[in-house]
Chain A
Amino acid sequence: MNIIVCIKQVPDTTEVRLDPVTGTLIRDGVPSIINPDDKSGLEAALKLKEEMGAKVTVLTMGPPQAEVALREALAMGADRGILLTDRAFAGADTWATSCTLAAAIRKIDYDLIIAGRQAIDGDTAQVGPQIAEHLGLPQVSYVEDLKTEGDKLILKRMFEDGYHLVRVNTPCLITTLKEMNEPRYMSVMGILDAYREKEVEVWGLKDIEIDSGNLGLQGSPTKVKKSFTKGAKTAGKLYEVDSKEAAKIIVEKLKEKYII
């Protein structure tokens, strides 16, 4: 089985702090991570590899430093890493991104494509489904569990109030939720192999076939009209009291706000 996992390198939003004066995000020194939904998708692919044998290719589009995210994926056990990077790709919205990723995927053998549901820095949840449309593949989004049945997959597709069990033929594309699993750590030998024995392939515009109208900022139909920062919440008040006193204070405050 050939599996492609699409990942994105994102700033670790749990580490992002707000500038108390301007109220904007402080991005300096914020570590980059593999987007959590994508990482669970990668874990699902690696589990399939262990269970039935598979070749796992990790694909990302991003600036040159996104290579680190691919190395991390290799260190977790992925077999091949491809970085799509080119000035021509810059400024892409979800449409241009999915067009570019789909163009790269057309060059790779696959039975299953996995993408995380959405990235924590954009939250659109559009790129995965768009790739499936460009490639004319069946897609199942919001997957929280995955089993194989011959060459078919049995997927648990989550809804707010329940789930569907879906049987789907391969090739197909699924988008995964981080609740799906607890991704493994990189291993010591995995990290050393990722740098010493594995390569990250770097693909640019010349390596894929794509209509230039679908590329980068120019090929992005999304136009940002205005962006603004939400007002920061004020800091809470800290009480250092015993639990009885704390309960009393909580009840008082809730009454003050007419919550109870």
Chain B
Amino acid sequence: MNFNLSKEHVMLQKMYREFTEKEVKPYAEEVDEREEFPVETVKKLSRYGFMGIPIPKEYGGAGGDNIAYAMAVEELSKACATTGVIVSAHTSLCAVPILEFGTEEQKQKYLVPLAKGEKLGAFGLTEPNAGTDASAQQTTAILDGDNYILNGTKIFITNAGYADIYIIMAMTDKSQGTRGISAFIVEAETEGFTVGKKEAKLGIKGSATCELIFENCRIPKANLLGKVGKGFGIAMKTLDGGRIGIAAQALGIAQGALDETIGYVRERRQFGKPLSYFQNTQFQLADMHTKIEASRMLVYKAAFNKSNNMPYSMEAAMAKLYAAETAMEVTTKAVQLHGGYGYTREYPVERMMRDAKITEIYEGTSEVQKMVISAHLLK
């Protein structure tokens, strides 16, 4: 048993922090206010290897483990949750399934540019009538000679419009239920594929969240990811991994809010002394920190399991459930400790509170995580 970070991890963390401090934090407020996708930041992230951390070097990645990856999302999200989710969705939901389920040709063609950060990735599962009930897919993929023809609509797709490569779930055989779902790799420029409405959201406002529309979109048969009818399993496995990324994002948001709050309560004076002198403040901080540290242990454990080929589905669900609820609680307390100022946009904690909420919803709501955890207990 050893809770120490390796020398590699310590140095990575140092680099992530330097990068976040200089390249992410100064723009976080603007990204939120203008609801602007941080294109320039993503270029810099690519340059320094953030877009392919857990992808092996032979496929253009950095060859790191999942702890190195989770730590990156955590550090970025401390300052800007939008930046955190861009990396998480790109890596966990697009690059990783191609690594795990793709053919060698698919890896060379799609994974290499994704891992190098030359291309951005996205993932499309959710539909207007298939949210938590992801099995109710209505998008269809009909085989026609050497092509599949896609028809249907996906919604709430992270990185939509900016992504070059999409993993899309579609029904190849409606009569088979979940066993009729297949996964496909779709290029942004494909005819018949358009990006629809962009959502106006409560938080992670810089992240592009849009509808994807497929109208007789022909994609080559070679772009089938995994086997026919195995798409649902691929999606579920992919989301298991994605949850580590989102849990890390939630962890980062919570830590960022605590860091801001510690700074504030030392400075802000009421009744003739700094807020940090009041026991209420001290107890709140203690609770916040304890829950954040517990979240971190769960996140790193799930990441450790995934990198060491140990089961991680339940671990990832627990990490996401706990880290997301911690993020919501900690950011709410952070706003409360900032008082009226915390409610204004002058301080970052109100943004962090808005950003935190989505971590309880996307890539499986907290309720879905509980379903996953209990299913493991009762199987």
Per-position binary interface string of chain A over residues 6-42, scored 1 when its CB falls under 8 Å from any chain B CB and 0 otherwise: 0000000000000000000000000000000000000
> What residues on B are CB-neighbors of A188 within 8 Å?
12, 15, 48-50, 53, 62, 64, 68, 72
Contact residue among B11, B57, B64 (Cβ-Cβ distance under 8 Å from A186): B11
In the assembled complex, the CB of B44 is this many whole angstroms from the nearest CB of chain A, namely 9
Interface residues of B in 326-354 (CB under 8 A from A): none
Nearest CB on B from A108, distance (A) = 25
Interface residue from B11, B47, B61 paired with A191 (Cβ < 8 Å): B11
- CB distance B63 to A185 under 8 Å? no
Q: Which residues of A contact B57 (CB under 8 A)?
A: 189
Measured CB to CB, the nearest residue on chain A to B69 is A188
* Number of A-B residue pairs at CB separation under 8 A: 49
- Check A187–B8 contact: CB distance below 8 A: no
In angstroms, Cα B63 to Cα A75, docked, is: 14
A72 contacts B by Cβ under 8 Å: yes
A71→B11 contact, CB < 8 A: yes
Chain A, range 133-190, C-beta contacts under 8 Å to B: 185-190
**B12 contacts A191, CB within 8 Å?**
yes
> Interface size (A, Cβ < 8 Å)?
15
Are A189 and B62 closer than 8 Å at their CB atoms? yes
Asked if B8 and A195 sit within 8 Å, CB to CB, the answer is yes
Bound together, the chains give a CA A71 to CA B7 distance in angstroms of 10
The smallest C-beta distance from A11 to any residue of chain B, in angstroms, reads 15
Across the interface, B19 reaches (CB within 8 A) one of A185, A190, A192, namely: A185
Cβ of A191: which chain B residues have Cβ within 8 Å of it?
8, 11-12, 15
**How far is it, in angstroms, between the C-alpha of A226 and the C-alpha of B48 when the chains are bound?**
47
Measured CB to CB, the closest approach of chain B to A116, in angstroms, equals: 19
- Tell me how far the C-beta of A189 lies from the nearest C-beta in chain B, rounded to whole angstroms: 4
Quick check: A75 and B62 within 8 Å, CB to CB?
A: no
Residue of A at shortest CB range from B7?
Answer: A195
- Using a CB-CB cutoff of 8 Å, which residues 61-93 of chain A contact chain B? 68, 71-72, 75
Q: How far is the CA of A75 from the CA of B64 in the complex (A)?
A: 14
Contact check, B15 vs A185: say whether CB atoms are below 8 A apart: yes
Residues of chain A within 8 A (CB-CB) of B48 are 185-188
B367: Cβ under 8 A from any A Cβ:
no
> Measured between C-beta atoms, what is the minimum distance from A202 to chain B in Å?
16
Do A75 and B15 touch (CB < 8 A)? yes
> Complex: how many Å from CA A194 to CA B64?
13
Question: In angstroms, how far is the closest chain A Cβ from the Cβ of B9?
Answer: 9
What are the residues of chain A within 8 A of B63 when measuring CB–CB?
189, 192
Residues from 37 to 61 in B contacting A, C-beta threshold 8 Å: 47-50, 53, 57, 61
B61 — nearest CB in chain A belongs to which residue? A189
- Complex Cα distance A190/B47, Å? 11
Chain A 203-253 residues near chain B, CB threshold 8 A: none
In the assembled complex, how far is the CB of residue A214 from the closest CB belonging to chain B, in whole angstroms?
34
Chain B residue at smallest Cβ distance from A194: B11
How would residues 299 to 312 of chain B score, 1 for a CB under 8 Å from any chain A CB and 0 otherwise?
Answer: 00000000000000
Least CB distance, A193 to chain B, in whole angstroms: 9
Chain B residues closer than 8 Å to A185, beta-carbon distance: 15, 18-19, 48
Q: Complex: how many Å from CA A185 to CA B68?
A: 16
**B15 and A186 contacting across the interface, CB-CB below 8 Å:** yes
Question: B212-252 interface mask toward A, CB cutoff 8 Å, 1 = contact, 0 = none?
Answer: 00000000000000000000000000000000000000000
Sample of 15 A–B contacts (CB below 8 Å): A71-B7, A72-B11, A185-B18, A186-B11, A186-B15, A188-B12, A188-B15, A188-B48, A188-B49, A189-B61, A191-B12, A191-B15, A192-B62, A192-B63, A194-B11
Which residues of B are at the interface with A, using a C-beta cutoff of 8 A? Answer: 7-8, 11-12, 15, 18-19, 47-50, 53, 57, 61-64, 68, 72
Supply 8 further A-B pairs (C-beta < 8 A) apart from A188-B62, A191-B15, A194-B11: A71-B7, A72-B11, A75-B11, A185-B15, A187-B48, A189-B49, A191-B8, A192-B62
Can you list the 10 inter-chain pairs with the closest CB atoms, starting with the nearest?
A: A188-B49, A188-B62, A189-B62, A187-B49, A186-B15, A187-B48, A189-B49, A195-B8, A191-B11, A185-B19
